[in-house]
Every structure is written in structure tokens, then in C-alpha cells.
Amino acid sequence: MKYREIWKVYSKVFDLTTLNVLEELKEDKFILEDLSIISEGKEAVVCRSGDKAIKIYKIMNISYKRQIKYLEADPRIRSFPKTQVGVIYTWVKKEFKNLRKMFKSLISVPAPYVYKKNVLVMEFIGDEEPAPLLHEVIDKLEDKEKVFFDIVEEYRKIYHKARLVHGDFSEYNLLYYKGKIYVIDVSQSIP
């Protein structure tokens, strides 16, 4: 990544509050190594720190009004601040709780560790490089039928064991690592 690109990402994500949260997580030993950016989306940047993935939601998120609809549709959330910051903090809490519920239901998701404000810490899936998204490797897979049935089984477990519906289940929210499917981006999941 070139310095200009790094600064573009840095200025959108690493505001003073986020830097303070990251410092607290470092003090609490959740972050032990420097952060390296592994992906950037519209709503968040995912960084790696050793065996952990750090998902940092952008406070200046242009789609936060869309997130309000998902939060209002979730019966587990009774009320939340409708400010941009309040929505983002509630969204991160929701993703953490969904991850934890799925993890406890033995669904293949990154293990959730902790969340604070707009930062979510979870297990890093991959080796030196992050595990690829399914859409990046689907054409190279030898046993597509097995992968298909593995995906169906993970979704069945999400629905029947965790009692959730993943709101954005697609090949863009599935990782493929060592012959196994991992479900990610579970913030839109609702009961």
C-alpha cells in the first residue's frame, strides 16, 4: 500500500476516540502486535494483529441510516441512540453478540474476544495471509458439491441452533480456509 492510500484509510478510521480504544485494548493485552490493514469496506477496516483480527467501524459511515433499519428490526434491541456514533457503537455490540451466539452454537465463525465502542476484536482466520473470500476461490475448488453442502450446513446451524437469520449471506461473507467455510460479517443477523 502506498503512503497516500494508507493516509486515506488512516484518516477515515483512526480518529482520537478509536486510537484511545486501541490503546486500551493494547493495555488489556488484546492487541500484542502492530496493526496491518488487511481489508477495507464501506463501513469498516479490518486489521491484523498477530492471531487477532481487529474490525474498526468507520465513525463517519455514510450508510449508518441503513443500519438504523436493521437495528430497529431486531427485537433484542429495545432502544439505542440515533446519532451516527450511537448507531455505530450499537452495531458493533450487535455484531459481537451475534458472533458470540453463533460461536457458542458451534457455527464456523471467527471466535469473538471483545468489543469496545467502534472496535471488535476476533480470531484471525488465515496463515500469513488472511483466508480468501469464497468468491475469490470458487472457480479453483475441486469439490464444489462438498463446499455447497458445507455452506448449507452452516446456514442450517445459524437458523436452527443460533436461531438467527444472516442478513447478508453470500460468497462475499464466507471465508474458505483449509477446506472449511467460515461465516463472517454477521452484524445484520436477526432472530
- Which of 122, 108, 109, 105 minimizes the C-alpha distance to 159? 105
Q: What is the pLDDT of residue 80?
A: 95
Q: What is the pLDDT of residue 107?
A: 98
Q: What is the pLDDT of residue 92?
A: 98
- Per-run averaged pLDDT (10 residues), the chain, 191 residues: 58 82 95 90 92 94 84 94 94 98 98 98 97 97 96 98 96 97 96 94
Q: What is the pLDDT of residue 16?
A: 85
Whole-angstrom distance, CA of residue 116 vs CA of residue 82: 18
Which amino acids are annotated catalytic? 168, 185
Distances (CA, A) of 154 to 150, 159, 170: 6, 9, 12
Sequence-ordered list of residues with C-beta below 8 angstroms from that of 54, at least 6 positions apart, any chain: 22, 25, 31, 35, 46, 47, 48, 119, 120, 121
Q: What is the pLDDT of residue 161?
A: 98
- For 3-183, the fitting CATH number among 3.30.200.20, 3.40.470.10, 3.30.70.20, 3.10.105.10 is 3.30.200.20
Q: What is the pLDDT of residue 148?
A: 98
- Which of 190, 162, 51 minimizes the C-alpha distance to 111? 51
